[in-house]
């Protein structure tokens, strides 16, 4: 189906919901849904961003900037998943506990703000990886209009460009907790350490970058086309220095490059793989 037809279907679906709370992270997926919802519903579409230690400050700033560009009603709420021992334990179902907190807040705010439905930016390409957060959405009755209508990630980017979103090609983002391997507890200090180092790497010019936490060691993933930059002697030296400034003793570059959810590579089905 052409993207113009999918976009028309999305507009129709959102109009049918009458009023919506959009769980909005600032990424292209939820920004696209929020932009279309605002175009169709106006003040009856509200974007909600949950603020917690796992949200990088730069991502919060981006979310606010894009919401201003859309012209929508955008509201920040505090999220306290860091207080949940099940989340802090960082087992493979961590995302379930995080999203459960998000949707608990959204459900409360939906009623408080007199809105009919909660929607998110999940697309069908999100269904392939291990995503326990999807189960939390299902349990909370959250609607995923782009899954219903068969939007792929490519469709989302094309649709975002079509409605004039400048972040249509924004690299994928994820919460800072996803940088910590399963079984290693999530703490405010570690999230701050990771977020600070990633921000410094972006200041060095890297666009798609992840700092994977391994105790004293930082494993950096960059996109394959940015590998030559990371190998440059001056840039490499700055990366190492910055890593140490942010509390890492060792700074390494993953030659496999950036890939989504690389910590999931230790999983077999839904359990941790134990290596003797």
Tens-place pLDDT, residues 86-129: 999 999 999 999 999 999 999 999 999 999 999 999 999 988 76
Single out the residue of 202, 196, 262 nearest to residue 229, CA to CA.
202
19-27: average pLDDT: 96
SS3 label, residue 270: coil
* Percent share of the chain, pLDDT over 70: 93
How far apart are alpha carbons 117 and 43 in whole angstroms? Answer: 14
The dotted CATH code for 3-162 is 3.40.50.620
Does residue 208 carry a pLDDT above 80?
A: yes
Q: For 157-207, what is each residue's pLDDT tens digit?
A: 999 999 999 999 998 888 999 999 999 999 999 999 999 999 999 999 999
Per-residue pLDDT at 172: 82
The residue that leads in pLDDT, 70 or 135, is 70
């Amino acid at each position: 189906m052409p993207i113009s037809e999918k976009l028309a279907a999305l507009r129709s679906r959102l109009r049918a919901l009458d009023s919506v709370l959009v769980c909005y992270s600032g990424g292209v997926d939820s920004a696209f849904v929020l932009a279309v919802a605002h175009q169709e519903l106006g003040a009856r579409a509200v974007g909600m961003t949950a603020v917690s230690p796992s949200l990088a400050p730069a991502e919060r700033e981006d979310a606010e900037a894009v919401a201003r560009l859309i012209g929508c009603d955008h509201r920040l709420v505090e999220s306290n998943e860091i207080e949940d021992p099940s989340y802090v334990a960082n087992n493979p179902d961590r995302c379930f506990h995080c999203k459960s907190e998000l949707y608990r807040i959204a459900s409360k705010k939906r009623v408080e703000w007199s809105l009919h439905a909660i929607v998110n930016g999940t697309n069908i390409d999100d269904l392939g990886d291990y995503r326990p957060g999807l189960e939390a959405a299902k349990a909370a009755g959250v609607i995923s209009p782009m899954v219903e209508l068969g939007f792929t990630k490519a469709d989302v980017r094309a649709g975002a460009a079509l409605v004039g979103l400048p972040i249509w090609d924004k690299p994928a983002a994820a919460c800072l907790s996803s940088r910590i391997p399963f079984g290693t507890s999530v703490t405010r200090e570690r999230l701050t350490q990771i977020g600070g180092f990633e921000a410094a790497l972006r200041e060095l010019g890297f666009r798609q970058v992840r700092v994977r936490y391994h105790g004293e060691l930082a494993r950096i993933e960059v996109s394959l086309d940015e590998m030559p930059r990371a190998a440059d002697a001056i840039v490499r030296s700055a990366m190492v220095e910055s890593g140490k400034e942010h509390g890492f003793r060792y700074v390494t570059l993953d030659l496999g490059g950036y890939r989504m959810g690389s910590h999931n590579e230790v999983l077999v089905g839904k359990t941790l793989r134990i290596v003797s």
